[in-house]
Amino acid sequence: MSEHRTTLTQYLLDQQQKHGGGKATGDFSGLINAITTAIKVISNQVNKGALIGALGNYGGGGDSVNVQGEVQKKLDVMSNDAIINECQGSGHLAGMASEEMEEIYSIPAGLKRGKYLLVFDPLDGSSNIDVNISVGTIFSVLRAPEGKENPTMEDFLQPGTQQVAAGFAVYGPSTMLVMTTGHGVDGFTLDRDIGAFILTHPKMSIPADTKEFAINASNSRFWEPPVKRYVDECLQGKTGPRGTDFNMRWIASMVAETYRILTRGGVFMYPRDTKDPSKPGRLRLLYEGNPISFIIEQAGGRSITGTQRIMEVEPTGLHQRIAVIFGSKNEVDLIERYHSDHAQGLDREFKSPLFNTRTLFSAE
């Protein structure tokens, strides 16, 4: 007899029963089904790649650039279209916003509106597509303002603590869906034979400690002192103040790093740096920082800018960037303390020759 398995559809019905307070209308479940249908479409497109002409840059001869000033990949646009097409007619949304679209997307006239807003990065890590490294989709569900036919951009500017749900897909050796509705984090694997997501990783939890960190070390000369101090100590390993060796990863695909951290712990850092002082970070708050932070916190981890909980940052723009440091709680606590020490001038003593503490990165 085949062992019992829970499909995403059954999971949503169970969650609706458990947490819907008897008043659930099925709207939320309907929205998640629409989003995950789009994710299946994207998974298929990513999986086929060159076979369907999905590789390379969008825009034929002249490369097209998105609102971020980054060259758009064909799959960026195809993934954005998949989400718009699958979700706009679901009847559960009052509007959408995407990394790939400068303005918010209003639900076309004639289509039923719903009570949620959907914010998403249709394809995260897209610089990895042509080299066949895992990429993903990130989404965040917010409440739409009641009684407002067409929400404005300002209605999307909600802090991460207001999220109803958040999730991401990783298009890797398996297509995985990871999601939270505020009651823990659950992981699903796409069974292509039946076209359904199966609950395979219930109640994902991040170990509080880790010996693995992820950061793009080519930016080290731009890092602020607390980050330099933290990474320096990790690199000193057993010979330094941490007294143990660390491992380093950098996949340049945040969803893949996030999934690894959910599975075995770790720390991901894309901190504020001096490379472009006009930008407080590389990653975007509304459709990367907030949804990933919601999942990380729900799995027992922490997610900060260095000095503040990311989910408490008051958004000021649809595409605003944010510094991102998240993962194993005790490690993120330490990084936060190093930022606090620096702000109070307490870390200067560590530079004094007395302590003979040499940084492996050139001092600023």
Which residues contribute to the site for ligand AFP (CB under 6 A)?
A: 70, 124-127, 216, 252-254, 282-283
Measured from the CB of residue 257, what is the shortest distance to ligand AFP in angstroms?
Answer: 6
- Measured CA to CA, the distance from residue 229 to residue 225 in angstroms comes to 6
Which residue, 249 or 351, is less far from ligand AFP as judged by CB?
Answer: 249
Which residue, 73 or 302, is less far from ligand AFP as judged by CB?
Answer: 73
> CA 166, 333, 299: angle at the middle one, nearest 5?
30
Measured from the CB of residue 336, what is the shortest distance to ligand AFP in angstroms?
Answer: 20
Six-digit token pair at 17? 């029963």
Measured from the CB of residue 222, what is the shortest distance to ligand AFP in angstroms?
Answer: 11
Which residue, 194 or 217, is less far from ligand AFP as judged by CB?
Answer: 217
Residue with tokens 């020490």: 341
- Measured CA to CA, the distance from residue 360 to residue 146 in angstroms comes to 54
Which residue, 268 or 338, is less far from ligand AFP as judged by CB?
Answer: 268
Which residue, 112 or 221, is less far from ligand AFP as judged by CB?
Answer: 221
Which residue, 87 or 292, is less far from ligand AFP as judged by CB?
Answer: 292
Distance of CA 120 to CAs 71, 79, 275, 288, 318, Å?
A: 18, 11, 26, 8, 11
Q: Is the CB of residue 54 less than 8 Å from the CB of residue 78?
A: yes
- Measured CA to CA, the distance from residue 234 to residue 244 in angstroms comes to 8
Six-digit token pair at 175? 């297509």
Q: Is the CB of residue 141 less than 8 Å from the CB of residue 258?
A: no
First-to-last alpha carbon distance for the chain, in angstroms, is 65
Beta-bridge partner residues of 247 = 212
Measured from the CB of residue 106, what is the shortest distance to ligand AFP in angstroms?
Answer: 25
CB contact set of 89 (below 8 Å; sequence gap of 6+): 111, 112
Q: Is the CB of residue 37 less than 8 Å from the CB of residue 83?
A: no
Residue with tokens 């799959």: 75
- Segment holding 295, helix H or strand E: helix 290-298
Six-digit token pair at 331? 């490690």
Which residue, 282 or 302, is less far from ligand AFP as judged by CB?
Answer: 282
- Measured CA to CA, the distance from residue 68 to residue 288 in angstroms comes to 13
CB contact set of 162 (below 8 Å; sequence gap of 6+): 142, 143
Which residue, 160 or 289, is less far from ligand AFP as judged by CB?
Answer: 289
- Measured CA to CA, the distance from residue 307 to residue 310 in angstroms comes to 9
Which residue, 39 or 94, is less far from ligand AFP as judged by CB?
Answer: 39
Measured from the CB of residue 15, what is the shortest distance to ligand AFP in angstroms?
Answer: 28
Measured from the CB of residue 55, what is the shortest distance to ligand AFP in angstroms?
Answer: 14
Q: Is the CB of residue 168 less than 8 Å from the CB of residue 298?
A: no
Which residue, 197 or 326, is less far from ligand AFP as judged by CB?
Answer: 326
Measured from the CB of residue 102, what is the shortest distance to ligand AFP in angstroms?
Answer: 16
Measured from the CB of residue 329, what is the shortest distance to ligand AFP in angstroms?
Answer: 21
